[in-house]
Amino acid sequence: MSERSIRLSRVVAHALRHRPEHYGLELDRDGWVAVEALARALAGRGAEWRDLSGQEIRAMVATAAKQRYEISGDLIRARYGHSLPDRIEGVPAVPPDLLYHGTTPEALPKIRSEGLKPMRRHYVHLSPDPETAALVGERRSAIPVVIEVRAGQAHAEGLTFYRGNDSVWLSDPIPASYLRLPDE
């Protein structure tokens, strides 16, 4: 992915996940907006994006390794990571038996008593393997902690999970009873 595509992915994330109103965009209730409307909105935000086209946005989405966005027809949306006031509803999916969550050692006491919560996001973000969870945890801690989530059991007992992409699963809050924390 080119440096420009990486910068474009970041600005698209800001526009679709966090501040669509800052760009003059209005997402529908499922988080969708027209690709061309997004291109026009970003083109009006400075010299770097003046020549941005819907085609360039489509190319960025097609070549992105992390699959943060999805395109359907003429529409685009962020798959996960929203911090908008209104929750973007995901499509429920059956999770694997185990998922993982990377976090900081400082967060463990609260997680131990309250479980996993979405914090400033709409969903709890989970990883399909401990290595990916550790990488996520490294964003906030030099020594991340990986928590095992008994997702299959939680799902069987009524908890809803959503597939974000190949490396991200989402869920509603997860009670501590479904977690295996370090030193347990």
Give the CATH number of the domain where residue 110 resides.
Answer: 3.20.170.30
72 and 107 within one domain: no
* Cα(90)–Cα(142) distance, integer angstroms: 32
Give a yes or no: residue 93 inside a domain.
no
173 and 128 within one domain: yes
58 and 11 within one domain: yes
Q: Are strands 33-34 and 75-78 parallel, antiparallel or unpaired?
A: antiparallel
Is pTM beyond 0.75 here?
A: no
Give the CA angle between residues 79, 23, 140 to the nearest 5°.
50
Final residue in a domain of this structure, among 78, 107, 129: 78
* Cα(94)–Cα(152) distance, integer angstroms: 8
116 and 173 within one domain: yes
* Cα(102)–Cα(114) distance, integer angstroms: 16
Give a yes or no: residue 90 inside a domain.
no
Q: CB neighbours (10 Å) of residue 58?
A: 15
Report H helices in the chain.
3-13, 35-43, 54-63, 108-114, 130-137, 151-156
- Indicate whether 158 pLDDT > 60: yes
Report the mean per-residue pLDDT for the chain: 88
Give a yes or no: residue 38 inside a domain.
yes
Give a yes or no: residue 91 inside a domain.
no
Q: Residue 36 sits in a domain of what CATH number?
A: 1.10.10.970
Final residue in a domain of this structure, among 78, 110, 131: 78
* Cα(133)–Cα(150) distance, integer angstroms: 15
- Indicate whether 38 pLDDT > 90: yes
Give a yes or no: residue 55 inside a domain.
yes
Give a yes or no: residue 87 inside a domain.
no
174 and 103 within one domain: yes
Query: Where in the sequence is the domain holding 17, given as residue range(s)?
Result: 3-78
Final residue in a domain of this structure, among 78, 110, 136: 78
* Cα(7)–Cα(2) distance, integer angstroms: 9
64: confidence class by pLDDT, cuts 50, 70, 90 = confident
Give a yes or no: residue 33 inside a domain.
yes
Report pLDDT digits (tens) over 126-152.
Answer: 999 999 999 888 988 899 999 999 999
User: What pLDDT, on a 0 to 100 scale, did the predictor assign at position 85?
Assistant: 56
Q: At what angle do helices 54-63 and 35-43 cross, to 10 degrees?
A: 110
Give a yes or no: residue 84 inside a domain.
no
User: What pLDDT, on a 0 to 100 scale, did the predictor assign at position 153?
Assistant: 97
The number of distinct structural domains making up the chain is 2
- Indicate whether 68 pLDDT > 70: yes
66 and 123 within one domain: no
Residue 167 or 60, more confident: 60
